[in-house]
Each structure stands twice: as structure tokens, then as C-alpha cells.
A and B are shown apart, each in its own frame.
Chain A
């Protein structure tokens, strides 16, 4: 698309660099912004600038945070003995919304995927090992995606954590609540059978 306007061209180009945004959508969004007042657009642009310039990673868990230590790590009422390992902030939001977890988090910042050029050194793994050596920490929960890359990362972390004196657990995998058994794929179902749990333990306490 060539609009004979360098300014417009630039704006559309930048907009379409975002994931999931094609040229047409980009043009629609840019035109929408043009229709708004200068102040509104300034505010819009500023919010991104501020975000990029001021946001920091929490010194403890590597979550995205406005302050040096994120609000979860600042909260003294949570359970110090459990750390839940996740890939990024989206997973924290997902787990937080369950309201079932009261411990602290550790954000890896990705998962091991040599194909994409991500090795263990690119992730916050050493920091996790360090945290796990704290006397107060008793259990580390691995809550990563159920993909091959997730598995590789789980195995790797497990190996590394074996030096520390903590229990390493992994989130359960199985049939989704409300799903019919017959529509569950074979691998998940097979695993659910192998890792079946005692009915007693499934009763809510």
C-alpha cells in the first residue's frame, strides 16, 4: 500500500509491526487515531513511552512491575514456603484468577526452545536456584505449558533443583472440567489414567 504520504506510510508500517495486525487493520487503526484530538493521541502515545521507560522487572520474581519489588512479592501475607514457576506474566494472571494459590511466583521469561534460539542461559534459572536454597522455601511448583518445550524445561529445572533441599512438583494434567471423556485426546487421557489420584484427595478440604 502506498498512500503518497510518508507520515501515513510510516504510521501504518509501525502499527502493522504488532503481532496479529495486518496492513488493512493497521490502516483502520491509524485513521481512527487521526480522527481523534491531538491531546488524546498524545496521551495514547505517551502511555507506551512511559510503559517502556519506567517498567522494571521485580528483583525477586522477575515479574513486570512498576516498583523495584512487585506487589505480590511485597505482600507479606502470602505463603513463603511455596514458589510457583511460570513462563511470563500472563500465567501469573491466569493462576491468580483461580484464587487457589497463595505462595510466591518466579517468572522464567520464556521456556527452553533451542529451535527458537532460547537456551537455559536466556532464562531466569540461576535466580530460581538461588531462591530455592532459602531455608523458608519447601516446595517449587512447575506450572509450564504442556508442550514438548515445557517438558524439556521441567526436566531441566528438576535436574537443577535436585541440589536444593526442596520438593519439586508439577501441575496436574488431565481432562478439563466439564469436558466429556470420549472427546479427550488419547495422550491426555492415557496420562490421566497413569497419574490417577486417590478419590479422597480430590474431595475439597
Chain B
């Protein structure tokens, strides 16, 4: 899959950008605050119908302007598609696929997958389990509609159950029948989600392990595990065993809404507390590359890869690893941002990778070099 053309008007601080893109690597270079990351975010936006960094649409409009427009030409197997997005203050977001609006934006997500690697990924390690569940849910639901439906139903039932527990505590009247009826439905949805998560991770973890081994040169051992209270006990058993506790705290203490992905180093040490910065970064890159590989496997083509500022934050050997992958054509179309005007391009030239580089300055883009080795 390729993005062949991108044009932006008033998207964040990108005033007016219209660029033809290289099918292999595109570099956006320039100083901080000029809008490099915003270009990447625009690509993410066109894929996911929302910004990676700020989900409030009106805040993605350039200050003082009334609207933004982002347009991209995607092509899959020579078939070109125009994706248009316009957001105007006070109006509904327009999202069009070949000039046709969607009934539901959710239909668009997954059509043109992108994987983004940014310094913000560290939230996956640092923040609570919700961030990791979101990562998991997004990835699975792209390819598994019943999963998403069951998950939504589960969350709704969970809210009903918690509301019931609260009301019973307030009115001091326990209705076992009502709870049993909600539990029965909750168990069905919960078991489905649990099974699908387990199955997904059975497929995903080996891919991850492979990438981590490669990136870290086998120096350290890390583990990615799926933890769920449902792994060892049946959901029904858990709900029954904890009903007394649930009634006291008036919410549901066990279930797949408490699942987590555990990141560990050297078998038993938490990555968050005991791993070095570099190890954490390697871990995240392996995680994202595994995401890339998984999508590629499921879709049958490479997603677009967005690399935000990683050259600043990573040591040389890890950067080289990724660039080697690009050079060996293991990755698809890639977009890179960097502050140095020639660091990345020098390496790419040496690796004989063809690329285009743009200087991003004050919200505009100018072509610096077009290096086409194959011609």
C-alpha cells in the first residue's frame, strides 16, 4: 500500500502543503516546532479518522483559521483511492472515500492501515493497564468484527452490573435473580473476548519475540505475557466467588476489563521499573514492528510506517536495524521525521535506498532531494 500524494490546509500548523511522495522512504526534516510530526499525524488521521495525539478535532485546526482539509491518495495494487477529510468549526466532520461520505466512520478504519512509532509510545509502558488494553483491542478489532461487538456489549453489560450493584447497596435490597441474569450475559461476552485475546496473543507473541531478539542482539531476555483472571478460573466461578466483595465496593472486581499485557525483563522484573531507557525503547519498537508484521500478514500488504523522531531517541545500532530493514525491503512505504537536514539522508544514500526528503518550515514543505537509485 502506498500514499502517493498528500495535501494539507491548516492542519495544525501546516498551512499549505501539497506533495508527491516517494514509494519507498520520505523524510520530513526541519527544526522543532515547524510541523514535521504534524505531517505524520495527518497521515495517521487519514488512516484512522482521528489524530494520534489529540482526539479533539477542532483542536487540530490551525489557530485562528476556520477549517482544515487533509487529503491523501492511497493506492493498493495500482488501484487509487482519494481520501478526503474536512473539519470546520461547528460543523460535522466530513470524511470521504472517493468523494463519497461514510455512513459510519468506523467503516474506514483498517482500510489503509498505518503503524506509528513515536516517543509517546512509552505511555504503553508507563501508564496503567487501560492503555495496553486499548492497544490490544484496536489491533484485534481491525480484523475481527465480532470481537469489537462483543467487547462493546461486554462494557455495556459491565456498566449495567455496576449500576445494579450500586442501587442494591443504596436500597439495601439484594436481587440475586437480576444479578444472575446480567452475569449470564456478561459471562458469554467475556469468555468470547478472552478467547479471542488469547488466540491473538498466541499469534502475536512469537512475532514480537522474533523482533526483540533481532533488535537487542539477544543480549537480554524479555517477556510479553497476557494476564487475565480468566486464564486460571472460569469467569462464572470468579463472579460467584467475589460477589460479596463486589457488593461491598459496588463494582465488578473480576473480568476481562482487568486484563493486562505484562512487560517483563529477565523473567521476573517489571520493564517499567527495572529496564533501562534503551531496553524500554527496544521493547516498544519490537512491539510496534510486531504490530506491523501482524497487519501485513492479515492484510496481505504492508501498512504505512510512520517513524517520528526515533533517530533522536535511539542509539545507532537500533536505528541501523530499522534502516537495514528498509534497505532490505522488509518494510513498506516509510515516513521519517528528523531535526537534522542530512543525517538520515546520508545514511539512506549509503544504504542505496531511494527516498525523497522535504524540509518542513513554518508549516510549508519544500523538496530538498529526490534520490532515486533504481533509475
Contacts and interface: CB of A to CB of B under 8 A. Distances in A.
A151 interface: yes
Contact of B177 (A117, A148, A149, A156): A156
Given A155-B181, A156-B178, 5 more contacts: A114-B161, A119-B167, A120-B178, A152-B181, A159-B181
A193 interface: no
Interface residues of A, number: 18
A187 interface: yes
B160 A187 contact: no
Given A114-B163, A119-B164, A152 B177 contact: no
Nearest to A154: B181
B149 interface: yes
Nearest to B162: A114
A186 B145 CA distance: 9
Contact of A115 (B153, B163, B177): B163
Contacts of A149: 160
15 contacts: A114-B163, A114-B178, A114-B182, A120-B177, A120-B178, A148-B156, A148-B160, A149-B160, A151-B185, A152-B181, A152-B182, A156-B177, A156-B181, A159-B177, A186-B149
Given A114-B164, A155-B185, A187 B157 contact: no
Interface of A: 112-115, 117, 119-121, 148-149, 151-152, 155-156, 159-160, 186-187
Contact of A148 (B153, B164, B178): B153
A159 B180 contact: yes
Nearest to A157: B181
Given A114-B160, A114-B164, A115-B160, A160 B177 contact: yes
**Chain B, interface SS category:** helix
B159 to A, nearest CB: 6
Given A114-B160, A114-B164, A119 B178 contact: yes
A149 B164 CA distance: 13
B184 interface: yes
B175 interface: yes
B178 A112 contact: yes
A117 B149 contact: no
A159 B178 CA distance: 9
Interface in B7-43: none
A112 B180 CA distance: 13
A121 B177 CA distance: 12
A121 B164 CA distance: 12
B246 to A, nearest CB: 14
Contacts of B178: 112, 114, 119-120, 156
Nearest to B166: A114
Given A114-B163, A148-B153, A187-B149, A120 B175 contact: yes
Contact of B160 (A120, A152, A159, A186): A152
Contacts of B159: 115
B175 A119 contact: yes
Nearest to B146: A186
A112 B145 CA distance: 27
Contacts of A159: 177, 180-181
User: Most chain-A Cβ atoms within 10 A of its Cβ — which of B145, B164, B181?
Assistant: B181
Contacts of A187: 149
B330 to A, nearest CB: 35
- Closest 6 A-B residue pairs measured CB to CB? A114-B163, A114-B164, A155-B181, A156-B181, A114-B160, A115-B163
A117 B164 CA distance: 8
Nearest to A117: B167
Interface string B333-352: 00000000000000000000
Nearest to B175: A120
A124 to B, nearest CB: 16
Nearest to A119: B167
Contacts of A119: 164, 167, 175, 178
Nearest to B184: A155
Contacts of B164: 114, 119
A158 to B, nearest CB: 9
A113 B177 contact: no
